[in-house]
A and B are shown apart, each in its own frame.
Chain A
Amino acid sequence: EVQLLESGGGLVQPGGSLRLSCVASGFTLRNYAMSWVRQAPGKGLEWVSAISGSDERTFYTDSVKGRFTISRDSSENTLTLQMNSLTSADTAVYYCVKAWTQTNMVLEHWGQGTLITVSS
């Protein structure tokens, strides 16, 4: 059974940094593309970043380019999102999402999410 467990959320001051982790079980992370999708309080879904399967190409939405870094630790079967220079606009629940294949971005399985609050 596929399971995705996010952690690392919390309260951070504007300009601060946070590192999210997503521990995957039931499948081998490097064989699938993975994404982070966020949802601001009371708002809709917004795709943030993705990493492809074996070749580890990375992709970002414009608003986080240069501030966020997605990566994968195959030995730990863990996906991470390093978030720097955070602003209030980054306040959201962040979901770790498994895609269907290495490149096919059908967002098949979602974690339960972790809440990031950027506030002073």
Chain B
Amino acid sequence: EVVLTQSPATLSLSPGERATLSCRASESVDKYLAWFQQKPGQAPRLLIYDASNRATGIPARFSGSGSGTDFTLAISSLEPEDFAVYYCQQRKTWPPLTFGGGTKVELK
């Protein structure tokens, strides 16, 4: 199975700062990587699919990049509502679909 490793586990930042989250795959997943945002008590929400495509309604401050085994989610300028946990997920080789362990973006 494809193992996804996210780093860092926790990112402590202030509103207005740039956030850069990493996801590394144990083997190539081509472009087939998605990013999700999850707030406490809520279901995950799709942000980015196929590495760099924003889902419907996702603000332009969210961007994804990468291919193969190394991927990045960037939030250009953190808004108060962006403090949450972020997960990456691959669909290149499944079953199983696999998720990374998550990165928590917390208020500094």
Of A50, A60, A105, A108, most buried by chain B (CB within 10 Å of CB) is A105
Interface code A76-105, partner B: CB below 8 Å = 1, 0 otherwise?
000000000000000000010000100011
Whose C-beta in chain A lies nearest to the C-beta of B90?
Answer: A105
Chain B contact residue count (CB 8 A cutoff): 23
Contact with B along A31-64 (1 / 0, CB 8 A): 0000101000000111100100000000111100
> How many residue-residue contacts, CB under 8 A, span A and B?
59
Question: Complex Cα distance A95/B44, Å?
Answer: 9
Interface size on A, residues (CB 8 A): 23
Q: Say whether A107 contacts B95, CB under 8 Å.
A: no
Residues in chain A near residue B46, CB distance under 8 A: 106-110
B54 contacts chain A at the CB level, 8 A cutoff: no
Residues of A with Cβ closer than 8 Å to B? 35, 37, 44-47, 50, 59-62, 95, 100, 104-113
